[in-house]
């Protein structure tokens, strides 16, 4: 059988190599991989454990039912709280802590710093910039979206102080702006 | 219709750089070179004997570096192995990992079997450390018999037969990856794998021709004219097929004139005017087509044939590179809004720069040179 000796050695090497590769693979596959899908099942828990940074509106509305009452009739029910108030993650932490420990204080809302990707956790603003981010007439926006040409709109409606940044609130509110 | 320069926010960055151009280029050379070696090993094209070994080792040398551009492109190269450690059954890229590994293994074994007689001979004629190297290469069995040779030859044939579909899948798959991107009309066609495959064969033959002539010139021997003529004929056929398929695809797109045609037309005639119209079509396809037709039909003198073959081969190598460029980069230059264009700026330095690309492209040749020092690859010595 010496004619195939070299092939036998090759086969042995392939077998050993293949076995080592499989073994290595088994060592490298992370725990809980594949239990539910092509990913680590434990990743779900890891992600859920991250500190809250982007609460849902439902979360806010648990405590602010009155706001929902104001909004429910308005087209603005579709607009998320974050656009006008910030993420409010710390606010929720504080407000939740208050329920068990009355010594905690809920920081009041700050002023907006005029940055859209803002770091201010909770703010209240009347600045027209927040409204115009969505409502200023833009090329390419579907016609059905409510857009205004600011100067024309203010003139048509007869705004008192056209220069005022808070001018929209002469006539509109944030939660239910429809008239 | 004029482009309105309207691009989507996720369009501006050309993510797939020159490295992703090199990747199909190199795998193409692998597949092409292997097909040539199979013409000898499987289809008994004895005239190709002078390049048969060269073809096989060239395939191996390019295959070794086929994934390097991909790894350079990744910012976390070590994660690349996850596609094989925890593969996803629906991922074409994961499939590639396995096809590539299988093919690489097959190539190594086939090369080893082909060169075993030479390895064994060198075990017996060398001393000291060199002898040991060859002894390890022979897996500790420095003997050949008439019978073992016969078995080896049969095995080589089997591997070569299995290797043909493997090489085709390896490269056809690369085309498939692009062909399956449905958001991109310049890529998304069922012809893509076929076009990639044929142009791969084309570039493979061209690189062998160029290498063969170069090696003969280095060794100051005349290339075997019959072998050369055969290669030229195959090159000619491959060029006609590749060019027709590419033309067919373009004509089809143009005649269909779908919603995307206006942007593709502008892409090809303005943004890719140099790399497509000039380099790929005129200089890289039409000129070699004329040259090769002359070489095949008019049967010019020996000297003339060598010159024509060389010029055509080099032009074709440039053409296939341009084709990969036009597909990969070109496909990212227009916005998926079909209304605007973006620009690809390439730098000299950095992991995805021109220099890195040049180095990647040199490595297979350096490997080939190194292999040639260890084993008689350029059969010019043999004769």
User: Which pLDDT tens digit goes with each residue over A121-138?
Assistant: 999 999 999 999 999 998
Is 70 exceeded by the pLDDT of residue A1? no
Q: Residues in chain A, how many?
A: 179
Instruction: Tally the C-alpha atoms within 13 A of residue B175's C-alpha that lie toward its C-beta.
Output: 22
Cα-Cα-Cα-Cα torsion B204, B207, B211, B214, nearest 10 degrees, comes to 150
**B314 and B277 inside one domain:** yes
| Inter-chain CB proximity B139 and A4 less than 8 Å | no
**B111 and B229 inside one domain:** no
B90 lies in a domain?
Answer: yes
Reported as a single tens digit per residue, the pLDDT across B199-258 is 999 999 999 999 999 999 988 888 999 999 999 999 999 999 999 999 999 999 999 999
Cβ atoms of residues B208 and B325 within 8 Å: no
Highest mean pLDDT out of A10-19, A141-150, B40-49, B167-176: A10-19
DSSP B117-147: HHHHHHHHH--HHHHHHHHHHTTT-----HH
pLDDT of residue B380: 45
**B26 and B139 inside one domain:** yes
* CA-based nearest residue in chain A for residue B138: A6
pLDDT of residue A38: 87
Name the burial class of residue A82, with classes exposed (0-12), middle (13-18) and buried (19+) by CB atoms within 10 angstroms of its CB. middle
**B2 and B46 inside one domain:** no
**B152 and B239 inside one domain:** no
- In this prediction the ipTM stands at 0.85
Cα-Cα-Cα-Cα torsion B268, B269, B272, B277, nearest 10 degrees, comes to 90
3-state secondary structure of A71: helix
B208 lies in a domain?
Answer: no
Is 60 exceeded by the pLDDT of residue B108? yes
| Inter-chain CB proximity B148 and A3 less than 8 Å | yes
**B326 and B246 inside one domain:** yes
Determine the Cα–Cα distance for residues B74 and B20; give it in Å rounded to an integer. Answer: 10
Total of domains in chain B: 2
**B3 and B122 inside one domain:** no
* CA-based nearest residue in chain B for residue A21: B85
- Could you tell me the residue range of the domain that residue B265 belongs to? 1-16+184-193+221-344
B202 lies in a domain?
Answer: no
Determine the Cα–Cα distance for residues B255 and B263; give it in Å rounded to an integer. Answer: 14
With an 8 Å Cβ cutoff, the interface of chain A facing chain B consists of 2-7, 9-10, 13-14, 25, 28-30, 33-34, 38, 140
Determine the Cα–Cα distance for residues A139 and A141; give it in Å rounded to an integer. Answer: 6
B204 lies in a domain?
Answer: no
B205 lies in a domain?
Answer: no
pLDDT of residue B269: 94
Highest mean pLDDT out of A141-150, B229-238, B330-339: B229-238
**B353 and B267 inside one domain:** no
B131 lies in a domain?
Answer: yes
Interface test with A, best of B98, B109, B139 (most A CBs within 10 A): B139
Cβ atoms of residues B285 and B243 within 8 Å: yes
B200 lies in a domain?
Answer: no
Interface test with B, best of A1, A2, A3, A28 (most B CBs within 10 A): A3
Determine the Cα–Cα distance for residues B18 and B275; give it in Å rounded to an integer. Answer: 14
**B108 and B5 inside one domain:** no
Q: Is the overall model pTM greater than 0.80, yes or no?
A: no
B315 lies in a domain?
Answer: yes
Determine the Cα–Cα distance for residues B323 and B315; give it in Å rounded to an integer. Answer: 12
Which residues, 6+ apart, have CB-to-CB distance to A72 below 8 Å?
A: none
Confidence of residue B96 (pLDDT cuts 50, 70, 90): confident
3-state secondary structure of B222: coil
């Amino acid at each position: 059988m010496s004619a195939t000796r070299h092939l036998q050695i090759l086969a042995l090497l392939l077998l050993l190599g293949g076995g080592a590769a499989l073994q290595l693979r088994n060592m490298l596959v992370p725990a809980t991989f594949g239990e539910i899908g092509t990913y680590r099942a434990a990743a779900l828990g890891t992600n859920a454990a991250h500190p809250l940074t982007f609460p849902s509106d439902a979360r806010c509305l648990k405590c602010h039912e009155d706001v929902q009452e104001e909004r429910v009739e308005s087209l603005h029910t579709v607009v998320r709280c974050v656009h006008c108030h910030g993420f409010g993650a710390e606010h929720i932490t504080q407000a939740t802590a208050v329920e068990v420990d009355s010594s905690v204080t809920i920081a009041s809302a700050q002023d907006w710093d005029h940055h859209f990707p803002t770091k201010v956790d909770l703010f209240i603003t009347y600045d027209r910039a927040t409204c115009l981010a969505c409502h200023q007439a833009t090329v390419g926006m579907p016609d059905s979206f409510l857009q205004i040409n600011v100067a024309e709109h203010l003139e048509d409606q007869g705004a008192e102080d056209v220069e005022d940044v808070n001018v929209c609130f002469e006539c509109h509110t944030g939660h239910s702006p429809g008239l | 219709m004029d482009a309105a320069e309207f691009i989507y926010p996720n369009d501006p960055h050309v993510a797939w750089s020159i490295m992703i151009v090199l990747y199909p280029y190199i795998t193409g050379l692998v597949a092409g070179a292997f097909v040539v070696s199979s013409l000898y090993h499987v289809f008994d094209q004895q005239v190709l004997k002078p390049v048969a070994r060269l073809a096989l080792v060239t395939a191996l040398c390019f295959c070794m570096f086929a994934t390097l551009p991909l790894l350079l492109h990744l910012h976390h190269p070590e994660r690349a192995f996850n596609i094989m450690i925890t593969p996803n059954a629906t991922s074409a890229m994961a499939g590639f990992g396995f096809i590539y590994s299988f093919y690489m293994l097959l190539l190594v074994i086939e090369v080893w079997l082909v060169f075993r007689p030479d390895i064994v001979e060198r075990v017996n004629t060398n001393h000291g450390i060199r002898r040991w190297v060859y002894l390890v290469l022979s897996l500790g069995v420095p003997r050949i018999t008439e019978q073992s040779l016969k078995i080896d030859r049969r095995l080589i044939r089997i591997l070569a037969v299995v290797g043909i579909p493997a090489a085709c899948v390896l490269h056809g798959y690369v085309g498939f990856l692009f062909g399956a991107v449905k958001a991109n009309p310049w890529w998304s066609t069922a012809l893509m794998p076929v076009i990639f495959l044929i142009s791969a064969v084309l570039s493979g033959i061209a690189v062998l021709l160029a290498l063969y002539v170069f090696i003969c010139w280095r060794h100051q021997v005349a290339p075997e004219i019959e072998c050369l003529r055969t290669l030229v004929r195959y090159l000619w056929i491959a060029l006609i097929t590749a060019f027709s398929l590419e033309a067919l695809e373009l004509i089809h797109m143009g005649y269909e004139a779908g919603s995307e045609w206006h942007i593709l037309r502008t892409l090809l005639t303005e943004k890719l005017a140099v790399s497509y119209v000039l380099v790929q079509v005129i200089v890289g396809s039409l000129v070699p087509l004329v040259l090769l037709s002359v070489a095949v039909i008019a049967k010019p003198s020996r000297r003339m044939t060598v010159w024509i073959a060389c010029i055509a081969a080099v032009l074709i190598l440039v053409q296939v590179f341009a084709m990969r460029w036009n597909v990969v980069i070109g496909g990212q230059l227009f916005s998926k809004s079909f209304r605007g264009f973006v620009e690809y700026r390439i730098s000299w330095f950095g992991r995805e720069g021109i220099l890195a690309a040049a180095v990647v492209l040199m490595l297979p040749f350096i490997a080939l040179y190194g292999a040639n020092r260890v084993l008689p690859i350029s059969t010019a010595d043999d004769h």
